[in-house]
Amino acid sequence: MREEFAQLKPEKVIEFFYDISQIPRGSGNEDKISEYLESFAKDRALFCIKYKNNNILIRKPASPGKEDVPGVILQSHMDMVCEKNNDTDFDFDKEPLNIYIDEDFVKAKGTTLGADNGIGVAMTLAVLDSKEIAHPQVEAIFTVDEERGLTGAMEFDVSEITGKTLINLDSEEDDEILTSCAGGVRINHSFKYKKIKRPKDTVCADILLTGLQGGHSGMDIAKGRANANRLLGRVLFAASREMEMNLVEISGGSKDNAIPREASCRITLEKAEKENLELIVKEHQRYFAKEFKGPESSIKLDLKHVDSKCDKVIDDESTNKIISAILLIPNGVISMSNEIENMPVSSANIGVIETKDDEVVISIAARSSVASKKEEIISINRALSSQFETHISFHGDYPGWSYAEESPLRDTAQRVYKELFNQEAKIVAVHAGVECGIFGEKIPGLDMISIGPNIFDVHSPDERLSISSTEKTWKFLTELLEEIK
């Protein structure tokens, strides 16, 4: 299999990407990929620090003739989002990704590909491995746990870093130079509930919503994609107004920074209401098919009456609070920019709903490029928490990255791109968390951009990496390293 990938260009980049794909590296499970990076450095006699949390720093001296040029930092994250199709049997903690070539794309069978940000790691390794690329001193920063809240970057010890120029390799469109991004925070609501005896003369039913595209909760939030958790909440709210019912369990999504593709629940209801529930589900199937005709043509809402022996259910009050909260918690785009066309300013994603022994937890990823708008989302959730009597917690708060009026690196990148491809690169902001904001706070005066090849449908099993775009970005990166003064 590796030999097949070795035929692609740029050879070393693709080879390293293949090798990385064989190492389990979901967020929080970076031990093996960190060890791989450390061994890579030792095999090439490069300076390396492996930190306690598995962050990695590798330093490579400047190539001949570049010793007097200030050093450059190449930065990427080693973890990936682990999403799979419902019918895919796969253990992200143990198994290598089953990647394959489909014309111009690299894909993974039934799972996320991990090109976010494995391709950035692979490009950095190819630079460190090369004896031909002209470059200043390179300091390669590989962080952990980016996908769950950028904690690797927040914990990174920059005391050994000497560079004042940083190229982040975590962007996903090859004709863009990213120069600013949103900040964000993770919000959790915990609904404590009582287990009560199942009401007499009730039956059980499972409701399952599938077929959604999902995607990145920042990059794809403005594309009109449906959130499975929110849609299931709508169905349940409609049912709760028509009949007495109790939740047994509810779940949806697996990562708070991924738009959930599937959601399901089990409820109890009176036998006489079975037909009524069927009508409600069919009605919402029609609603959703019409509302999301373009982006979500495969949406499917299923109802199954099941013979469950469960004798305990979630109490009435908690059932109503949970269903109402799913409808009231902010979700999707909240505000749009007045300066940048089609750019969200603030958003929220109800990413995960999980039923535990005595609580239901709803996890949200909130983002904003304006600090006060992020505080607004936090305030709304605090108010809802007070009304619903949830335990609310916040974690993974990270800063945004503001556009710099002066940036020699950005100017050089624009010039190099124009010379290479005979067109202007787009200077863009992104509604997603990029580690540049954190490193900019840690290293005052740091001059930064972010670039990367075309990657589509990240954070979903449809994720795919363009091979030709990877070659284009590699050419851009190596020429940029040579032109940095």
Beta strands in 165-201 (DSSP E): 165-168, 176-181, 183-192, 195-197
pLDDT of res. 7:
85
Nearest to 461 by CA among 176, 262, 290: 262
306-338 pLDDT, tens digit each: 988 889 999 999 999 999 999 999 999 999 988
Residue type, 178: L
Band of residue 362 on the pLDDT scale cut at 50, 70, 90: very high
> Could you tell me the residue ranges of all domains in the chain?
2-182+400-483, 185-398
Q: What is the CATH number of domain 2-182+400-483?
A: 3.40.630.10
Q: Is the CATH number 1.10.287.3240 carried by domain 185-398? A: no
201-231 pLDDT, tens digit each: 999 999 999 999 998 898 899 998 999 999 9
What mean pLDDT is predicted for residues 267-275? Answer: 96
pLDDT at residue 1 greater than cutoff 70: no
* Same-fold call for 2-182+400-483 versus 185-398: no
Provide the 3-class DSSP secondary structure of residue 286. Answer: helix
CB 140 within 8 A of CB 129: no
Band of residue 295 on the pLDDT scale cut at 50, 70, 90: confident
d(CA 480, CA 473): 10
Provide the 3-class DSSP secondary structure of residue 345. Answer: strand
Determine whether 316 is an active site residue: no
By mean pLDDT, which of 57-61, 221-225, 274-278 is the weakest?
221-225
Give the C-alpha distances (Å, rounded to integers) separating 339 from 156, 182, 229, 346, 405. Answer: 33, 15, 31, 14, 15
What mean pLDDT is predicted for residues 355-374? Answer: 94
Band of residue 412 on the pLDDT scale cut at 50, 70, 90: very high
462-479 pLDDT, tens digit each: 999 999 999 999 999 999
pLDDT of res. 205:
97
pLDDT of res. 219:
85
Determine whether 30 is an active site residue: no
**Between 397 and 390, the higher pLDDT residue:** 390
pLDDT at residue 410 greater than cutoff 70: yes
pLDDT of res. 294:
80
pLDDT of res. 74:
98
- Which candidate in 79, 145, 173, 273 is catalytic? 79
CA 190 to chain centre: 22
- Which candidate in 30, 83, 139, 146 is catalytic? 146
72-130 pLDDT, tens digit each: 999 999 999 999 988 899 999 999 999 999 999 999 999 999 999 999 999 999 999 99
Tell me which residue has tokens 């070659």: 471
- Phi first, then psi, for residue 330 (nearest 5°) are -55, 135
pLDDT at residue 345 greater than cutoff 70: yes
pLDDT at residue 15 greater than cutoff 70: yes
What mean pLDDT is predicted for residues 164-186? Answer: 95
Q: What is the mean pLDDT of the chain?
A: 95
Nearest to 248 by CA among 350, 319, 353: 319
Band of residue 16 on the pLDDT scale cut at 50, 70, 90: very high
pLDDT of res. 360:
98
| pTM for this prediction | 0.76
Instruction: State percent of the chain over pLDDT 90.
Output: 86
